[in-house]
Structure 1
Amino acid sequence: MSVNADEDQVRAKLKQLRCHFTWNLLIEDTELSDLEIRAFDEIEFLDTKFNVGIHNLLAYVKYLNGHNKEALESLKEAEDMMQAEHADQSDAIKLVTWGNYAWLYYHMHRLTDAQIYLDKVENTCKKSASSSSYTIECPDMDCAEGWALLKFGGKNYERAKACFEKALEVDPDNPEYSTGYAIVVFRLDGINKTSYVGEAFCVEPLKRAIRLNPEDAYIKALLAVKLQEIGQEAEGEKYIEEALANMSSQTYVYRYAAKFYRKKGAIDKALQLLRMALQATPSSAFLHHQMGLCYRAKSYQINTATNWQPRGQDRENNDRVAKSAISHFERAVELKPTFDIAYLHLAEMYVQVGSYSKAEDVYQKLLRVRSLEEETRQELYFRYGRFQEFQKKSLVDAIIYYLKAIKIEKPSFIRDKSISALEKVVLRKLQKNAVDIESLSILGFTYKLKGEMNKALEYYERALRLAVNFENPVGHTP
């Protein structure tokens, strides 16, 4: 048989496997470096029973980066871990590891080695009486796929959620399935902003995961942050204190504890926790972003206390913390070039320190990004509108971007601020020109959005009368 025929046969078998090479894990090339850093950090600092999966993920990321030899080393670590630490490891994680081996050897043109691992998969599938020679259907396999999708970021979260839900249907009290499901719905809550004061979908899954994993400090930290977000800060702080008292996964607990204390207003405590976390994981984009947010908050405190006119020592302190915020935001986007919200915060700080050309560059970069989340895009348009209004002194461009923010109809605090800002801008224009038809129409639109229909009609009618008079001036026949 020809080499090509052999290769075609092997590839046909490989396509039947369930592993990282077949799960259609969506990620941009620019995110791979950050994902590799996060995988290393998790292996070293996150106390979990599920590390075999992280080694598999790391192997796949190394393959995507073109480092096949290093990818094999990661798979060897996963295999050694299965044998040494997890004698009772499920067949699913073995099949995922062997499937990754087979695919990697195939891409390295080592068909004989690929076939060795395909044979391992086939023999295991036969023992489990699977209907397929190269796949088994079981909740552990769904869980493994769920973890892989979860680690690969937001574009994969809905599919990850479906995987954990499928696993939980079979074994609803499984601690690992519950943990994975709780984490992914926590992340989805953050993206979709479905929670509001008093309610959040992910709270009950997080509490259930804690009941099944009472020593999991990381899950307690996530729950604390979410409880604070929905107005239950006192209960959240109890979970934060429990998590901090537990030595498990401390580097990761520090991250969310810092976020909790920053939002509580305890900025110095938050910074202390973040510095400890950065000592362990200095290349974490998340941590640098959180540091930037803390310094931004300190700058805001100084500015509000001095009515936005700091002088003397206050001015020096404000300059120092603003520069620190910028430094950490710059490092965050350097480590993770797709960190859109960090770019937005960076532009905001550039504006504050008067670096308008740098702010413009960042805004233009974000305006070119097509894959922005709705909420981020809405905030981008609002922030850029303010930049045009107050720094560029262009009321016309400010109106354009406030309208863009409003046309994203997702209800939010930023949308409400955009409506208010738009109203103020058009009122300023009307003070200069009371017969500006466009401004009258836009003002009517803002009142309509606010539900003030009588005022909306008044301004629409004024605009319409002016338009008619403009088209049919006195002394001319229509």
Structure 2
Amino acid sequence: MDHDNVLRTKLDQLECHFTWALKKDDVDLNRLDEQLKLDVERKENLTQTYNALAYVKFLQGFQEEALSNLMTSLKLYKECHEEEFNKSLIITYGNLAWINYHMKSYTECESYLQKVLKINESMSSESSSVPEVLGEKGWTFRRFSYKYYEKSKECFKKALDLEPEVGRWNAGYAIPLYRTEYGEFTIENSPVIKQLRRAIETNPDNDVLKVLLALRLVTYKSYEEAERLVEQALERSPDHPRVLRYAGRFFSNKGRVDQGIALLRNALELSPNSSFIHHQLALCYKKKKIELLQEGNHRARAHEVQLIRDKIIDHLEMATKHATGFISAMSDLALHYGEENDVSRAEEMFQVTFQTAKENKDNLHVVHFHYAEFQLYSKRDEVLAIKHYMECLKMNPGSYEGKRSVYKLKNIAEKRINKNTQVGKAYGILGFIHKEKGEKRQAIECYEKALRYGDNDEYLTNLCALKLSI
């Protein structure tokens, strides 16, 4: 085995960003770059932030910048610690070994490999079981992509099992748990509420955790405690972008949309390139638009509605500009182009969004839902709308869009039945909804009704399959 292969074998055994199977296609590197730079500006988790930023620069092809960021990470660490061979440096030294290998600086690469080896020799366990390594690995997975949330949870849980009282691991575990827990729980047995409370207990100065707990408490109608937590977080951290943006979402969800917009605008001043904040502002203005339309007298309010629609489009365009591949923002933007009667632009945007969502395997059900809305309201094509609502429901029945698709499909079906128009197809739609929800007997009943109104091979096939499965 030649020298290069021996070196590569040693590198593959390291615990660092280069060996954690972080795929370039799973993340919007520009967006992550901006998020990490925001952490640098706010001095949050600086050593691990520079480590992650270095790997992003490597993926972008900027090896010199990657090396510079790693040296900054090392410098920051040494300013805070006297020990040169502390286990916290396993990841930084590992990354330095890898980047020097890619830059063909083999002597430097071997030097950093020796430093990792010296740290490993001083420990009683494998580096993959070191809490500091597990913690940074979990933080990196959480930062890089929602696709890695389960891996992030797993890392923080292992770190917690080893050091249950450490605040960093409690906070680290709470956040991916918050992102992934959507089961049927009560306020008493919800794992994420329990973990967020524990995380706040061990991190009393972390106001982001308080606002996240408030957002989850609202789903259980615990409004008083939730609002108290948000007010406390805003009082303590009035200029923290994440506190402001989550608080803005909190008040918007409570129906206090103007208060939510004001907070999000403050957050935007601190993070003008945040695609998340632009998207949240667009969602707030959408609520204002819907409220105005529900009040009636559309002609008198047309100018006001148009001004709000302009703001929605502006913020969605900024969200998609600062985060390429932001599927929900892209499809919502296409839908609003349709509202503006710019049908060709909307169609073009939808096709790009469909392609991006398929390539990235990301939120395709959201695109189907918005495209169904576009077909129904902008193009008046109910047949195509039904097709795409069904696709959305099949892909993700438990999502907001999946549930809205059920609502829209039921509306279409019930209107047809009430008007005695295309009744067979209406019962076919209802049969499809029951089938997707696992309600086999109700589905059979609807498909049998559909068949009474005329032969349809699709209904017959579904009916036979359902009867055989019971």
Farther-moved stretch of structure 1 (340-349 vs 364-373) = 364-373
The residue aligned with 2:35 is 38
1:213 to partner: Cα distance: 0.8
Select which of 5, 11, 20 maps to 2:17: 20
Contact 2:153 2:177 in 1 (8 A): yes
Provide the C-alpha distance between the structure 2 equivalents of 1:466 and 1:62, rounded to a whole number of angstroms. Answer: 56
User: Structure 1 residue 127 and structure 2 residue 116: aligned?
Assistant: no
Q: 1:424 and 1:180, CA in 2 relative to 1: closer, same or farther beyond 3 A?
A: closer
Aligned alpha-carbon RMSD (Å): 3.0
Contact 1:437 1:466 in 2 (8 A): no
Provide the C-alpha distance between the structure 2 equivalents of 1:288 and 1:94, rounded to a whole number of angstroms. Answer: 37
Contact 1:93 1:144 in 2 (8 A): no
Q: 1:8 and 1:452, CA in 2 relative to 1: closer, same or farther beyond 3 A?
A: closer
Contact 1:310 1:318 in 2 (8 A): no
The residue aligned with 1:209 is 199
1:264 to partner: Cα distance: 1.5
1:239 to partner: Cα distance: 1.0
Q: 1:436 and 1:251, CA in 2 relative to 1: closer, same or farther beyond 3 A?
A: closer
Q: Which amino acid aligns with 1:335?
A: H
The residue aligned with 1:395 is 382
Contact 1:92 1:136 in 2 (8 A): no
Select which of 81, 88, 93 maps to 1:98: 93
1:155-194 to 2 correspondences below 5 Å: 155-189=147-181, 193-194=182-183
Q: Which amino acid aligns with 1:160?
A: S
Provide the C-alpha distance between the structure 2 equivalents of 1:464 and 1:90, rounded to a whole number of angstroms. Answer: 78
Q: Which amino acid aligns with 1:292?
A: A
Q: 1:328 and 1:118, CA in 2 relative to 1: closer, same or farther beyond 3 A?
A: same
1:186 to partner: Cα distance: 1.2
CA displacement 1:253-280 (0-9 Å, x = unmatched):
1111111111122222222222222222
Structure ranking higher on relative contact order (CA contacts 8 Å, 6+ apart): 1
1:236 to partner: Cα distance: 1.1
Select which of 117, 140, 144 maps to 1:148: 140
The runs of 5 or more residues in structure 1 that have no matched partner are 468-478
Match of 1:265, SS state, is coil
The residue aligned with 2:358 is 370
User: Structure 1 residue 139 and structure 2 residue 126: aligned?
Assistant: no
Count of aligned residue pairs for this structure pair: 452
Provide the C-alpha distance between the structure 1 equivalents of 2:78 and 2:28, rounded to a whole number of angstroms. Answer: 32
CA displacement 1:110-148 (0-9 Å, x = unmatched):
0011111111111222222556xxx46322211121111
Q: 1:252 and 1:443, CA in 2 relative to 1: closer, same or farther beyond 3 A?
A: closer
Q: Which amino acid aligns with 2:88?
A: I
Match of 2:129, SS state, is coil
Provide the C-alpha distance between the structure 1 equivalents of 2:180 and 2:431, rounded to a whole number of angstroms. Answer: 36
1:447 to partner: Cα distance: 7.0
Farther-moved stretch of structure 1 (349-358 vs 158-167) = 349-358
Select which of 234, 251, 267 maps to 1:244: 234
CA displacement 1:158-179 (0-9 Å, x = unmatched):
1111111111111111111111
- The alignment's TM-score, normalised by the length of structure 1, stands at 0.85
1:256-271 to 2 correspondences below 5 Å: 256-271=246-261
The residue aligned with 2:462 is none
Provide the C-alpha distance between the structure 1 equivalents of 2:138 and 2:422, rounded to a whole number of angstroms. Answer: 60
Provide the C-alpha distance between the structure 1 equivalents of 2:224 and 2:164, rounded to a whole number of angstroms. Answer: 30
Provide the C-alpha distance between the structure 2 equivalents of 1:332 and 1:372, rounded to a whole number of angstroms. Answer: 18
1:426 to partner: Cα distance: 4.8
Contact 2:392 2:405 in 1 (8 A): yes
Provide the C-alpha distance between the structure 2 equivalents of 1:412 and 1:129, rounded to a whole number of angstroms. Answer: 46
Match of 1:338, SS state, is coil
Match of 1:306, SS state, is coil
Match of 1:317, SS state, is helix
Q: Which amino acid aligns with 1:323?
A: D
1:394 to partner: Cα distance: 2.2
Q: Which amino acid aligns with 1:318?
A: V
Q: 1:429 and 1:258, CA in 2 relative to 1: closer, same or farther beyond 3 A?
A: closer
Match of 1:202, SS state, is helix
1:434 to partner: Cα distance: 5.8
The residue aligned with 1:335 is 322
Provide the C-alpha distance between the structure 2 equivalents of 1:340 and 1:137, rounded to a whole number of angstroms. Answer: 36
Provide the C-alpha distance between the structure 2 equivalents of 1:236 and 1:284, rounded to a whole number of angstroms. Answer: 25
Contact 1:218 1:249 in 2 (8 A): no
The residue aligned with 2:466 is none
1:372 to partner: Cα distance: 7.2
Farther-moved stretch of structure 1 (353-362 vs 61-70) = 353-362
- The alignment's TM-score, normalised by the length of structure 2, stands at 0.86
Provide the C-alpha distance between the structure 2 equivalents of 1:348 and 1:197, rounded to a whole number of angstroms. Answer: 36
The residue aligned with 1:383 is 370
CA displacement 1:409-453 (0-9 Å, x = unmatched):
634554454344334445666789867755554455557768757
Provide the C-alpha distance between the structure 1 equivalents of 2:21 and 2:449, rounded to a whole number of angstroms. Answer: 53
Provide the C-alpha distance between the structure 2 equivalents of 1:401 and 1:136, rounded to a whole number of angstroms. Answer: 45
Farther-moved stretch of structure 1 (390-399 vs 404-413) = 404-413
Select which of 262, 272, 289 maps to 1:282: 272
Q: 1:275 and 1:428, CA in 2 relative to 1: closer, same or farther beyond 3 A?
A: closer
1:194 to partner: Cα distance: 3.0
Provide the C-alpha distance between the structure 2 equivalents of 1:130 and 1:200, rounded to a whole number of angstroms. Answer: 34
Select which of 55, 62, 70 maps to 1:67: 62
Contact 2:424 2:450 in 1 (8 A): no
Q: 1:214 and 1:355, CA in 2 relative to 1: closer, same or farther beyond 3 A?
A: same
The residue aligned with 1:11 is 8
Q: 1:217 and 1:90, CA in 2 relative to 1: closer, same or farther beyond 3 A?
A: farther
